Amino acid sequence: MKLGIAASKGYAIGTVVIKEENELKIEERAVKDVESEKERFKKALQNSKEQLVKIKEKAEKEMGADKAAVFESHAMLLEDPEFAGAVEMGIENSKINAEKALQDVVDMYAGIFASMEDEYMRERGADVKDVGKRVLANLLGKISVDSDIMADNTVVVAHDLTPSDTAQLDKSKVIAFLTNIGGRTSHSAIMARTLEIPAVVGLQDITSSVKNGDTIIVDGIEGSVVINPDEETIKAYEAKKEGFEREREELKKLISVKTVTKAGKRIEVAGNIGKPEDVHSVLANGGDGIGLFRTEFLYMDRNDAPTEEEQYEAYKYVLEKMEGRPVVIRTLDIGGDKTLPYLPLPEEMNPFLGYRAIRLCLDRKELFKIQLRALLRASVYGNLRVMFPMISGLEEFLQAKEVVEECKAELKAEGKDVSENIQWGIMVEIPAAAVCADELAKYVDFFSIGTNDLIQYTLAADRMSEKVSYLYNPMHPAVLRLIKMTIEGAHKEGKWCGMCGEMAGDEKAIATLVEYGLDEFSMSASSILKAKQLIMQN
């Protein structure tokens, strides 16, 4: 048994598929049998082509023909006899292994593209590298994370998963995932809870402890795994899995129950979402609203930023589906562990303390305005509340509101409707904001406490690091004091205070948060019913 950090609850018994490392290691080797090395290359090429056909079909269905075209151009490169010929020539002439010969050709092609005048052609260099990586992964026997090529009951094992890797996981095949690094509040862990699949992170060396095809038990409650278990162990975990699923079923009786504390206070229990379609699991789990829509996920897995129209459609969809229930949408929070391929960020020593969230939006006003216009236009379709992430002081909130006013004026001039009832709030996730909550509460409509960041900044313990996860303690008295101050600050000015960090769904924290007077709890959909039950007991 190996122990890591429990990141998403549940049990899974499945087959290991190791995700390729972002940087595949290539070692040059001299080869004697040139012919069989060429065969090995041809086989990897063939496998890559077959994978690309499947991926293209899936992308066409899910994202449309234009987005799928990139896979077509990848396949074309693999069909190009000059490309394959150059690799085979490399193997033959230099008597080196296929991996090294492939890499030399990929580097040469990428170099040619990089030196071209035309920007479009320069960007093709990235395609060559991408497709080269696929062939290399096949040569090395490492499968990429594309779930198209995975069997049922796959447990993905990776050094790390980016939020966009996690977003791409196909729940019908991937039943759990495991990583070497990461903490409970890294975004891939949060996504696992949204997907409702068990996950264990911070396992340190899981990628080197298993092989593709191993059977593995994942215990997302204890944060442990058992590699190639015996029959008896499998039976024991099957029983645990059944018990867990039975409890989930029983909690379903709370779906339409209104959550009221023992003292008679009505509490809103809402869901956190990353994609518009996630509203369905929030509703299915009895959520009273959306307490956090992480809009940055709309910006991921694409080659350009979503347009105003695309965003408007996404926000309208969520507002309409929630039928008048409150929907808190957070403006773009990119940076930290969330990056975008088309928005290069500066290399920083401490990206979580750097150019991120509202800081970036106020600096890139043109990008910010597209989102604000889409939000304002969608506001007429429901009960919209907008909040800004990473606010450290009043000035940032006022500046953001100024941009909002600018957008409103533009829309009015264009004859477009905007709701008069939008609430404007901030995330309290920087200790400075918590300490000044009484002052900030005079200007905002609400607070939502982002404990994922608040804890890491208060305790100086990186939320992504398994090495310091023992320090990352939501119940630390300093964290609790800041939370209490924030709630009291809001209430003093007659404003409401919610929490959308993972602590809101933490079974050990709920009683304390009820005692402090928290008005709204927002969490992964899968935690809502249990939280309702616990709130009602307090």
Which residues in the 131-170 window bind Mg ion by CB under 5 A? none
Which residues in the 253-292 window bind ligand PEP by CB under 6 A? 292
As beta bridge partners, residue 17 has: 156
User: Which range binds ligand PEP by CB under 6 A, 89-97, 194-202, 305-313, 447-455?
Assistant: 447-455
- Which stretch of DSSP H or E encloses residue 157? strand 154-158
Quote the least distance from Cβ 104 to Mg ion, whole Å.
Answer: 43
- 489 contacts 441 by C-beta, under 8 angstroms: yes
Which residues in the 28-47 window bind ligand PEP by CB under 6 A? none
Quote the least distance from Cβ 451 to ligand PEP, whole Å.
Answer: 5
Q: Which of 127, 268, 288, 333 binds ligand PEP (CB under 6 A)?
A: 333
| Chain CA centroid to CA 120, Å | 29
Of the pair 71, 457, the CB lying nearest ligand PEP is at 457
State the Cα–Cα distance between residues 464 and 336, nearest whole angstrom: 10
Size of the site for Mg ion (CB under 5 A): 3
User: Which range binds Mg ion by CB under 5 A, 177-185, 188-196, 221-229, 445-453?
Assistant: 445-453
Which residues in the 13-72 window bind Mg ion by CB under 5 A? none
The active-site residue, picked from 361, 407, 436, 500, is 500
Query: Is residue 450 involved in binding Mg ion (CB under 5 A)?
Result: yes
Quote the least distance from Cβ 293 to ligand PEP, whole Å.
Answer: 11
| DSSP letter for each residue of 160-218 | ---HHHHHH--TTTEEEEEESS--TTSHHHHHHHHHT--EEE--SSHHHH--TT-EEEE
Nearest residue to 421 (alpha-carbon basis) of 387, 380, 370, 389: 380
Which residues in the 353-392 window bind Mg ion by CB under 5 A? none
Of the pair 136, 485, the CB lying nearest ligand PEP is at 485
Of the pair 422, 433, the CB lying nearest ligand PEP is at 433
Of the pair 97, 451, the CB lying nearest ligand PEP is at 451
Residues 19-53 as b or e (16 or more Cβ within 10 Å = b): bbeeeeeeeeeebeeeeebbebbeebbebbbebbe
Quote the least distance from Cβ 182 to ligand PEP, whole Å.
Answer: 13
Nearest residue to 342 (alpha-carbon basis) of 368, 375, 367: 367
Tokens of 420: 């008069």
**Which does residue 451 bind out of ligand PEP, Mg ion, none, counting CB within 5 to 8 angstroms by kind?**
ligand PEP
Q: Which of 194, 295, 383, 452 binds ligand PEP (CB under 6 A)?
A: 452
Tokens of 11: 């049990």
Which residues in the 192-211 window bind ligand PEP by CB under 6 A? none
Quote the least distance from Cβ 452 to ligand PEP, whole Å.
Answer: 3
State the Cα–Cα distance between residues 154 and 138, nearest whole angstrom: 18
DSSP state of 278: G
Q: With 0-12 CB in 10 A as exposed, 13-18 as middle and 19+ as buried, what is 230?
A: exposed
- 197 contacts 171 by C-beta, under 8 angstroms: yes
Of the pair 40, 294, the CB lying nearest ligand PEP is at 294
User: Which range binds ligand PEP by CB under 6 A, 44-52, 125-133, 159-167, 451-459?
Assistant: 451-459
- 300 contacts 163 by C-beta, under 8 angstroms: yes
Residue type, 474: P
Q: Which of 159, 294, 321, 385 binds ligand PEP (CB under 6 A)?
A: 294
Tokens of 319: 């507002």
| DSSP letter for each residue of 498-512 | EE-SGGGG-TTTHHH
Q: Which of 219, 453, 506, 519 binds ligand PEP (CB under 6 A)?
A: 453
**Which does residue 519 bind out of ligand PEP, Mg ion, none, counting CB within 5 to 8 angstroms by kind?**
none
The position carrying tokens 């990776």 is 158
The active-site residue, picked from 187, 407, 436, 497, is 187
Quote the least distance from Cβ 298 to ligand PEP, whole Å.
Answer: 14
Query: Is residue 429 involved in binding ligand PEP (CB under 6 A)?
Result: yes
Q: Is 497 a catalytic residue?
A: no
Q: Which of 180, 451, 526, 527 binds ligand PEP (CB under 6 A)?
A: 451
Q: Is 500 a catalytic residue?
A: yes
Q: Which of 99, 268, 278, 453 binds Mg ion (CB under 5 A)?
A: 453
DSSP state of 302: S
Nearest residue to 383 (alpha-carbon basis) of 419, 353, 436: 419
| DSSP letter for each residue of 125-139 | HHHHHHHHHHHHHHH
Interface ranges with Mg ion (CB under 5 A): 429, 450, 453
The catalytic residues are 187, 500
Interface ranges with ligand PEP (CB under 6 A): 292, 294, 333, 429, 450-453, 500-501
